[in-house]
Chain A
Amino acid sequence: MPEPAQILPGTLDLLILKAVSLGPLHGYGVLLRIGQISGQALLIEQGALYPALFRLVRQGLLKASWGTSENNRRAKYYELTAAGRKRLREETEDWNRLADAIAVALSARPEEV
């Protein structure tokens, strides 16, 4: 397994939105889900997750409610709001455009210039 990569600044919010869009999750669940969908390739500092979650709640992109986890622990579950869904769509498009552009730029060869 390759060494996990530090995520780019600013992409944590996007990853959280994506993870939660697949179904309501508690904080630790978000962490596991990101690991799962990225093939364990992204490293997220565990504690740093919560300020990000709280920020997204404050921006109205997520909503939170208390629930019980599968192993019977009280935990706070997050799910996307309508605004969150919209934001996820926009940010995904932005990201893809950016990634494509960088990919094209990086694949440039001397003879193409």
Chain B
Amino acid sequence: MKLLAYFRSLAGKFLRRSQTADDTDEELTAHIQLRADDLERSGLSRFEAERQARIEFGGEARFKEECHEAMGGNFIDSMMNDVRYAVRMLRKSPGFTFTAVITLALAIGANAVVFAVMNAMILRPLNVPQPESLYAIERNASFRDPSQSYPDYLDIGERQHSFDGLAGYTISEAALDVSNSASTVWATDATGNYFDELRIQPYLGRFFHSSDEHGPNSAPYIVLSYDYWHTHFQDDRGVIGRTVELNKHPYTIIGVAPPEFRGTLLFFSPDMFVPMVNEEQIDGNDTLHSRKDRWVFMVMGHLKPGVTQAQAVAELNSIGAYLAAAYPDDDAKENFLLARPSLYGDYLGRPMKAFFGGLMLLAGLILLAACANLGSLFAARAADRSREVALRLALGSTRRRILRQLFTEAVLISLIGGAVGLWGSMMLLRAMNVWQPIPQYPLHLPVLADPKVYWVALLLSLASGFLFGAVPVRQVLRTNPYEVVKSGSTAPVGRRVTARDVLLVMQIMICAVLVTASFVAIRGLIRTLHSNFGFEPNHALLVDTGLVWAGYSADKTPIMQKRMIDALAAVPEVEHVGLIDVPPLHDSWNPVNVFTDKTTDLRPANAAAEAIQYIISPDYFRAAGTSLLLGRTFTWHDDKNSPRVAVINGEFARRLFGSRANAMGRYFKMPNGERLQVVGIVEDGKYTNVTEIPHPALFLPTLQWPTAQMFLVVRSERDPQQLAADIKNTLHDLDPGLPVHIQTWNGKLNTALFGARAATASLGVLGVLGAMLAITGIFGMAAYSVSKRMKELGIRIALGARREEVLQAALGRAFRLLAIGSLAGLALGILASRVLAFIVYLGTPQDPIVLAGVVIAMALLGLVATWIPARRALKVDPLVLLREE
């Protein structure tokens, strides 16, 4: 209905407009007729009288236009005129139009993409009801870690009054067996109140609730995600009530989650939701009662209305103090914080915010450089059109009218550029939306554009249009029609610094900053890739096989593990096979507090260090390519009946014992009071991520610390695909029901390096955009200055100037500006090193290779951009030129 009314009013406006136009016509005609009547009476013929009347009246068209303007409300009309004229002007210079549109499309497209991703990852809240009051609780420990232990979660949930209730979840991988075909799935293990606290209703069937929980393994229920139901059960509504096997335990599918709900971690779409009380069946670890295992990934809830964040934090801190007092062995005193749950609290949220802030800034710089570029193009165009402007002024057009015309052209270009850019970014975003950056994980970047993105693109387009359209304003205002018409449009080639020069320097400076940024990023990535991980990922396969998934009980796992290792070691050309519970640079790790041998009070506060704990088989170090620095590695005799031993890394030795040599044979304590003797020391490595500071690490023999979680590292020079097939067959022979996932260690590392790679790629793209803008900017300026000075160059050549002198005259200025801009940009880039070093690991612009690289790159850009104008300048034929003038 509204739409109809809108169209009616629009139509009304146009109808009335043409009516008033007729009115004006009639009135002016009446005037001329009346005047002609008078003249006729004074003796002229009718024809002569009308002619005379018309002459006396003056420029009818011009007055008509002024009348329209005087009446007001003709804005749309004259704008349509301006647009029509602008289109004609732009079509007359397709090269200029194309360059301008592409430049803007790239710049606005880059901004739209960066903004859309930032919007999706940071600005947009989780897709749950009332997301504004939903907060995750994080411990302000060294990592800003939102994880909790299950008993702590229960205690906090019972004692707090600030939240409606607290729900928790964690993520596990499990084997799902539907009618005898097993596959691994990603599950969100949620507390019973998870869906109720998030205020979500099921799409189909029902959700599980707190009332379904009656102790460990009491709630064998599965809620499928909509996507999984859609792809694996073909939208079969009869799936509700069906029994399937999860890690060989019977589970009932009770419901399907709504399509828009993809769990509470923004980029992670789980396949299903299962109750956390069944953790032992799903994960294999009976940790529901352990207060020091902080495996509950995140705890969150809706703040009650009227409760401030500060009040909630104060209450949580007092609960934390109580827990630390009641369980001194397990809980240290914590300071709690509230954070948004979607990006794993501040743990990912903060670096991502910083990164996107930096990226947005660089994208903004790109747009600014593009505006400077177009601004100088427009100024040059306006100078070329000074004759047209002068003519229009002389014919009675106002300066305001001419400026409006120029702005219309600028805004038209910026809108077209913006539309093209937005279209391109839509394509890119759509591709990103279905992109699976790491195939093994159900990652999903929900980056489709929403209206906010369109608005930002429109605003940026308009703003940049006005920005570069404003550059030639002064030029037009100062145009003196008589001078220009008299002397032609040869503006004096001034030695003065013009606005165009300043714009060009600014633009080159920005581009140099961008080029610096991308060089720093690429150098950083190369260094990251070549840094020592503490293991050799080449020629190694990682075999991910969960004995838990196959239903092995704790006492059977060590025997089965030994059988698997022996079987794989017998595969042809396999050099070494090792087992590790969680490989380094995996998505999770097990930190453990370690104590000096003298410590008797083993509360967390007294810990000597927080080490990362790995459980390995004897041959692991050889299989992983980790070098043993001192002592020995484990043997199959380091079992339950022999003394407790450990291998540590160099950093561990330094922290606890001062030096490596000092550490050999010495003892330290684990949180449960066990004394371990150091029997070997291995090199330091990367454990949690590639950008970490050196962490102490601790390796324990699998026979003394049985674990069901396991990865097998297989080292071999063989082709990974054939080897993987052999490994699969071998393991299948041992146990056909064992789910096996094999990938190269390098492939696995892509996960760990994804952040660094993505950052480098985005900075690299911005750098390339910057370089392209620098080229078009310098090219435009150089080509323009050559074309303006053809005559002068011709005379110089005629007078016998050498090639160098001609080039110097034609392009010296461009090169000087390029040099100034590049140096300024480089200096700025170095000043911005803090920002860059924050974004890019191992990146520093104070690196001779980076500095040299930027200088060479800018010089090359200058050379490329001035190549064509230089050739034109050298080809000037004085005879032709002089004859033409």
Determine the chain B residues whose CB is within 8 A of the CB of A26 once the complex forms.
Answer: 30-31, 34
Stretch at the interface among A14-22, A66-74, A92-100, A104-112: A66-74
Counting chain B CB atoms within 10 Å of each CB, the highest count among A29, A54, A75 belongs to: A54
Q: Which of B27, B35, B58, B70 contacts A76 (CB 8 A)?
A: B27
Q: Mark B62-83, 1 if CB is under 8 A from A, else 0.
A: 1100110111100000000000
What's the tally of chain A residues with a CB closer than 8 Å to chain B?
21
Residues in A with CB closer than 8 Å to B66 are 50-51
A51 touches B63 (CB 8 A): yes
Identify A48's interface contact among B24, B30, B58, CB under 8 A: B58
Bound together, the chains give a CA A47 to CA B838 distance in angstroms of 69
Q: What residues of A have a CB within 8 angstroms of the CB of B72 in the complex?
A: 58
Structural contact, B27 and A50, CB atoms closer than 8 A: yes
List which B31-63 residues lie within 8 A (CB) of chain A: 31, 33-35, 37, 56-60, 62-63
Q: Judge if A52 is at the interface, Cβ distance under 8 Å.
A: yes
Complexed CA–CA distance, A69 and B36 (Å): 14
Bound CA–CA A80/B62 (angstroms)? 27
Do B69 and A51 have beta carbons less than 8 Å apart? yes
Please state if B57 and A73 are interface contacts (CB–CB under 8 Å): no
Q: Which residues of B contact A76 (CB under 8 A)?
A: 23, 26-27, 30
B30 CB contact (under 8 Å) in A45, A58, A73: A73
Q: Which of A51, A69, A74, A75 contacts B70 (CB 8 A)?
A: A51
CB contacts (< 8 Å) of B23 on chain A: these are 76
Query: Is there contact, CB below 8 Å, between A27 and B31?
Result: yes
Are B56 and A54 in contact, with the CB atoms below 8 A?
A: no
Q: A26-B30, A76-B30 are contacts. A47–B71 as well, Cβ < 8 Å? A: no
| Contact assessment for A47 and B62 in the assembled complex, using a CB-CB cutoff below 8 Å | yes
Q: A47-B63, A52-B70, A58-B71 are in contact. Are A73 and B58 (CB under 8 A)?
A: no
Residues of A contacting B34 with CB < 8 Å?
A: 26, 28-29, 69, 71, 73, 75
Q: With contacts A47-B57, A54-B71 known, is A28 near B31, CB below 8 A?
A: yes
- Name the residue among B31, B57, B60, B71 with the largest chain A CB count within 10 angstroms: B31
Nearest CB of chain A from residue B151's CB, rounded to whole Å: 79
**Complex CA distance for A73 and B69, rounded to whole angstroms:** 27
Task: Point out the residues of chain B lying under 8 angstroms from A55, CB to CB.
Answer: 70-71
- Assembled-state Cα–Cα distance A48/B59 (Å): 9
Find the B residue at minimum CB distance from A57: B71
Question: Is the pair B33, A54 in contact by a Cβ cutoff of 8 Å?
Answer: no
Please, which residues of chain B bring their CB within 8 A of the CB of A54?
Answer: 24, 67, 70-71
Q: How far is the CB of B401 from chain A (nearest CB, A)?
A: 14
A73 to B71, Cβ gap below 8 A?
no
The reply on B28 being an interface residue by CB < 8 A is yes
Tell whether A46 is near chain B: CB-to-CB under 8 Å: yes
Q: Measured between C-beta atoms, what is the minimum distance from B74 to chain A in Å?
A: 11
Is the pair A73, B70 in contact by a Cβ cutoff of 8 Å? Answer: no
With beta carbons under 8 angstroms apart, the residue of A46, A52, A71 that contacts B31 is A46
B residues in contact with A73, CB < 8 Å = 30, 33-34, 37
Give chain B residues whose Cβ lies under 8 Å from the Cβ of A52: 70
Which chain B residue lies CB-closest to A30? Answer: B31
Q: Mark B829-857, 1 if CB is under 8 A from A, else 0.
A: 00000000000000000000000000000
Chain B residue at minimum C-beta to C-beta distance from A45:
B58
CB distance from A7 to the nearest CB of B (A): 15
**Nearest-neighbor residue (CB-CB) of A29 within chain B:** B34
Which residues of A are found within 8 Å of B59, using beta-carbon distances? 47
Partner of B26, one of A29, A48, A57, A74: A74
Contact A46 B70 (CB under 8 A): no
Q: Which residues of A contact B (CB under 8 A)?
A: 26-29, 45-48, 50-52, 54-55, 57-58, 69, 71, 73-76
7 contacts between A and B (CB under 8 A): A46-B58, A47-B58, A48-B58, A51-B70, A54-B71, A69-B30, A73-B30
The list of the 4 closest CB pairs from A to B, nearest first, reads A47-B63, A47-B58, A51-B66, A54-B70
